[in-house]
Structure 1
Amino acid sequence: MSIPVLRPYFGDDEVEAIREVLNSGWVGPGTKVEAFEKAFADYVGTRFAVSLNSCSSALFLSMKVLDIAGREVITTPMTFVSTNHAILQNDGTPVFCDIDAETLNISPESIEANVTDKTAAIVVMHHSGHACDMDPILEIANARDIPVIEDAAHAAGGRYKGRMAGCLGTVGCFSFHALKNMTTGDGGMLTTDDEEIAARVKNLRWMGITRGTYDRFRRNGRARAWEYDIEEVGYKFHMNDLTAAIGLIQLAKLESSNAARREISLQYRKALGDLPWLELPEEKEYARSAHHMFVIRAKDRDGLIEHLAEHEIDAGVHYQPNHLYTVYEPYRRSLPVTEQVWQDILTLPLHPAMTDDDIGRVIAAVRDFSPKPEAAPGS
């Protein structure tokens, strides 16, 4: 059986949680959603958490409530495209910055060089679950009163100097996609300490309606349940109780599942650290990674991917830099570190469902590989 790069990790508790909601007769947004939001805010350390149907929706709504239209947004090219699509979807202009070669995170020095009086926001993405170096980034932002959006899609449970990812900026955006550290099948969460942002996002996530369905039909005894106001055009981005019920269980397991990811990462480091053609990810002293992915840099990267496939081991590339896609050609600029590093990166399997045999197979296959000496980067 092939070993996948990433895989969800469920048990009987999630099945029972879904059964409970189905038997309740209420599967839309209700008490489970409210409980999940409270539990997640408490975990991350923010005043508010607003559940959504995806991290993409959280990113989109972050840009919308921060009113980036017609202005520039400092961002990273080394991310899934939803980070930067959210800028374009809100009529903003992405300004791509270069990255740190070791963490794959946005470079504070590059941010400093690209901030202007047109900058509406700074987006940081904690690649692979390893926090960006937030102190210098926040110093840049605070000096100019620029909001910071944390794309914490990879970083549930990750920390920066003891503080949780997602509580450091103006807004945090989390993903509960099928392959993330905690999953609800799909879903997202927006975290913030700003009451006005939280309130507006809550309205926008459900068509702009000012009274939620559960409030109107269950909590308030159906008193004029049909009556509500709509103050602006919104979207259908809300979470439901089925999704939230899974989220509550997954959140309770997050620390232990992240610990399992950390242990696998340590085994990889110990077993592969002597290979001269391989560079392993390092954890900076300021960070405690969520270990969403284990991204290496390898000579003859594509050859290694083919070699692993022959041994029924999946591997990935996270990511092709966004500024190289056709849709971002108008915003393309020279990013020398990004353009060099991405040609060598490769993601090895990493998830709590991996057995000792799985880990051993990956290690043995990597050690068995001999890169072509003439291989060019990205080949």
Structure 2
Amino acid sequence: MAIQVLKPKFHVEECLEGVRECLEKGWTGMGFKTVEMEEEWKKYTGHKYAYYLNSNTVGLHLAVKILKMNNGWADGDEIISTPITFVSTNLAIAYENMKPVFADVDDYLCMDPVDVEKKITPKTKAVIFVGYGGRVGQLDKIIEICKKHNLKLILDAAHMSGTKVNGVCPGTWDGVDVTVYSFQAVKNLATGDSGMICWADEKSAEMTRMLAWCGINKDTYARSNKGTYAWKYDVDYIGYKYNGNAIMAAIALTQLKYLDEENARRRQIVNMYNEGFKNNPKIKIIPAPHADECSYHLYELIVPNREELLNKLSDDGINCGVHYRDNTEYSVFAFGDGQAPKAREVSQHLITMPLHMWLTDDDVKTIIEKVNQYV
């Protein structure tokens, strides 16, 4: 059987128990398990506010939209972002008729603070920092820049479930306005698809609850959980259908129990990779600050012969991937071409190694052997 690049491991029987509870209770939508997941996530991360959503993508959209509403931003205003990310990050900016400006990347493949500061203009309103692969990068310096220039900071923590620095979740750091997580199908905390948005302030958190539920000021669960059903509500905003559901939350609650244990295994695999590739002069390993607490959603290498390597490994039953293509190569963001030359160069040589709970030590040794043979 081929080795997959990303493959979630579900604790099936426990997940099914949680799903069964939803089905037997007759509550599969928002509420019940989604509320429980929000509370457990706040305990785990230290966030003050949390709202369970159907994806990280919609969370990023709500983050931009609410900040725009509350701060009087105009169409055409700018948000500094990264071109090395899944396209959702930058689509969230475009959804609100704002313009992504692309900062270059550092050696961690996260935002380069020096380039971020160079890209600030009078139209700049915010920065979206992506914790690429689970790495915290130079987030502390980005926070300083945002404070200095009075910019809002959105943390796209799609890869960061379980990442900590000295035991503290980076999304809770002072200066981070909102953090958005992903519990998509192959993430460290996998469900079918869902996510979480965590604001630093109560007003934005309350707006999220309404905007994510069609603008309604009191959701069905809130109107039903005291034994009677109060049918009447108002619609305060033109909202969306972005809420998460109880079935996904039931799976998430089970997966959360094992997140730290499984992230520890990811770090073991990464250490094996690092040791196995360190003496190959043609391979560049992506470093991680605070590596002993990194979630390591991805493990990538920079190689000279990516396409050839992908094909040879595939022939050997080892499926690798590419995360990510420089977003300015996509038609919708082609206006950013040339803004981040290092990101463009790196993106053409990145290859993602298999990293998941199904890998054995022997699998990892085989991968290392084959990569070193072909690079």
Q: TM-score, normalised by structure 2?
A: 0.94
Corresponding position: 1:97 with 2:103: yes
Q: Which sits farther off after the overlay, 285-294 or 316-325? A: 285-294
Is residue 2:348 matched to residue 1:348? no
Q: Distance in 1 between matches of 2:262 and 2:184?
A: 16
Q: How does 1:198-347 map to 2 (within 5 A)?
A: 198-219=205-226, 221-222=228-229, 225-285=230-290, 288-347=293-352
TM-superposed CA distance for 1:334, in Å, is 3.3
> Aligned to 2:50, what secondary structure does the other structure show?
strand
User: Per-residue displacement from partner, 1:167-208 (whole Å, max 9, x unpaired)?
Assistant: 231000100110100012100100122101100000011101
**What residue identity is the alignment partner of 1:138?**
I
Superposed displacement of residue 284, structure 1 = 2.1
User: Where does structure 1 lack aligned partners over 5 or more consecutive residues?
Assistant: 372-379
2:67 corresponding residue in structure 1: 66
Secondary structure of 1:163 counterpart: coil
Query: Where does residue 34 of structure 2 map in the other structure?
Result: 33
SS of residue matched to 1:341: helix
**2:14 aligned with 1:10:** no
Per the normalisation by structure 1, the TM-score is 0.93
Residues 210-219 or 109-118, more deviating: 210-219
Query: What's 1:85 paired with?
Result: 91
Per-residue deviation, 1:361: 2.4
Aligned residue pair count? 367
Q: What is the Cα deviation at residue 326 of structure 1?
A: 0.9
Distance 2:288 2:333 in 1: 31
CA distance in 2, matches of 1:199, 1:181: 28
In 2: Cα distance, 1:279 partner to 1:332 partner: 25
Q: Which amino acid aligns with 2:327?
A: N
- Determine the structure 1 residue equivalent to 2:181: 174
Distance in 2 between the 1:201 and 1:259 partners? 33
8 Å CA contact 1:174–1:189 kept in 2: the answer is yes
- Secondary structure of 1:8's counterpart equals coil
Aligned to 2:132: 127
2:118 maps to 1:113:
yes
SS at 1:151's partner residue? strand
Q: What residue number does 1:49 align with?
A: 50
Root-mean-square deviation (Å): 1.5
Verify the 8 A CA contact 1:96 1:333 in the aligned structure 2: no
CA distance in 2, matches of 1:287, 1:200: 36
Which stretch shifts more, 57-66 or 339-348? 339-348
Identity of aligned residues (%): 36
Structure 1 Cα separation of the partners of residues 97 and 61 of structure 2: 11
The structure-2 alpha-carbon separation of the partners of 1:146 and 1:326, relative to structure 1 and needing over 3 Å to count, comes to same
Residue type of the alignment partner of 2:9: Y
Provide structure 2 residue ranges, at least 5 long, that are not aligned to the other structure: none
Cα deviation code 1:79-137 (max 9, x no counterpart) = 0000000000111011111000x210011011111112211111000110111312211
- Whole-Å Cα distance in 2 between the matches of residues 174 and 340 of structure 1? 28
**8 Å contact kept, 1:77–1:98:** yes
Distance in 2 (alpha carbons) for counterparts of 1:116 and 1:334: 14
User: 1:256: Cα distance to partner?
Assistant: 0.4
| 1: CA distance, partners of 2:37 / 2:206 | 17
Contact 1:74–1:119 at 8 Å: present in 2 too?
A: yes
Superimposed CA distance per residue, residues 37-91 of structure 1 (whole angstroms, 9 cap, x where no aligned partner): 0111221211101110000000000000000542100100000000000000111
SS at match of 1:306: helix
Question: Of 76, 80, 84, which aligns to 2:82?
Answer: 76
Native 8 Å contact 2:267 2:292 kept in 1: no
Structure 1, 148-157 or 347-356: larger mean CA deviation: 347-356
CA offset at residue 269 of structure 1? 1.2
